Structure 1
């Protein structure tokens, strides 16, 4: 005899959250391996734009972070060729140089102690939407982790290699986890590498869906309360971890070298 068919929604949600904690396994990759996996996942997800874009994660000591070396594409990043740099972009471990645009990541990390990973890329649909100077619109259940969680910078400040861009972008991001940058691309943050990776995949999908919907007609908003419910339902560490693990398994079929 069924025991749950008369239970209210909030109780069923809590039961599911408890089950996720027990049944969804955490991965055992190091931060360097997770960063390399993220680069390969994003490459496969359309985030490739030559040498444009950076991914960083906080390092072992304050004021340090891991990043990829300039000159390598996302499909060439491995755990072994990542750099450890300080806030002046001085290389502390590894060979090569970081992307000079990494400078604005330091400003975000300083402003947001809750952020442990930053991903900035120029995927096609995000970049196309950024050319229209319109904010990201969330009007579909799958995209709700970004509902009321994606800021918008309408005025392009230019190439982000100066401290000015760091101040502008970190201020525009505010307390959101993502931001659409006009005439530029996207930036997502995460409390974990897994969270940032999943949001980066999602924001490109969101931009693609928005462009498709705009071409067909006017986008209809979704009820804010339901959107917030979906935001919180999907945005949990266990859900982010499970999604990341799936993307990683899929990527490793073609990119097993990234863990070395």
Structure 2
């Protein structure tokens, strides 16, 4: 896929993330590795995922230098680059702030996997330690999780959100949605256990 098509796909996936309610305001960011080039596309800072256009996708080198585009890259570009360096199988990263998954992230708790689908596809969703948004510490914390668990498809970010990866933008988006839906299902199961202990015991 050429660069212009990837820019358009990045905008399309960004809109899906926002419309699905996986992030709010100008939070979250999406990136994709450029084929045959040591660089990525990532949305510029300050634009809502719901309003991203192809022109908002900046080309950033693996050293963090803006090669092409106007504006500054998302302040979280460092952990995107860290993941790409660590995981050559990853071609896309979706970072978002979905409500139920954030609940578990704020408890510094790995995502429970109550369904066979979640266990099969996600397998393990660990937590990256908390650090200020856009900081080098946060980039190091997120990158370290993907180094420590080289097969994971997502991690929670303590007090922050979710980082999902895939070999394409669509697959990274699908992982992000599965993480949030799994978090919602986990919450429902916990509520049912709390209100229906006898039914759970007898099931």
TM superposition score normalised by structure 1: 0.66
Aligned length: 188
SS at the partner of 1:158? coil
Matched, 1:200 2:176: yes
Matched, 1:126 2:130: no
Contact persistence 2:105–2:127 (CA under 8 A): no
Aligned to 1:183: 159
Q: Offset of 1:151 from its aligned partner?
A: 2.3
Which residue of 58, 67, 84 corresponds with 2:33?
Answer: 58
Q: Larger C-alpha radius of gyration, 1 or 2?
A: 1
Unpaired segments of 5 or more residues in structure 1? 1-28, 219-260
SS at the partner of 1:50? coil
Q: Deviations over 1:146-198 (max 9, x none)?
A: 44242223x31333421x43332122122111111221111111011121011
Q: Deviations over 1:5-42 (max 9, x none)?
A: xxxxxxxxxxxxxxxxxxxxxxxx92222211111111
Aligned in 2, Cα 1:49/1:88: closer, same or farther, shift over 3 Å? Answer: farther
Matched, 1:166 2:142: no
Contact persistence 1:138–1:146 (CA under 8 A): no
Which residue of 63, 72, 87 corresponds with 2:62?
Answer: 87
Q: Offset of 1:88 from its aligned partner?
A: 4.1
State the structure with bigger RCO (CA 8 A, min sep 6), 1 or 2.
1
Contact persistence 2:64–2:81 (CA under 8 A): no
TM superposition score normalised by structure 2: 0.83
Q: Offset of 1:137 from its aligned partner?
A: 1.1
Q: CA RMSD in A?
A: 2.0
Q: Distance in 2 between matches of 1:78 and 1:145?
A: 34
Q: Offset of 1:199 from its aligned partner?
A: 0.6
Counterpart mapping for 1:1-260 below 5 A? 30-153=5-128, 155-162=129-136, 164-173=137-146, 174-175=149-150, 176-217=152-193
Unpaired segments of 5 or more residues in structure 2? 195-203
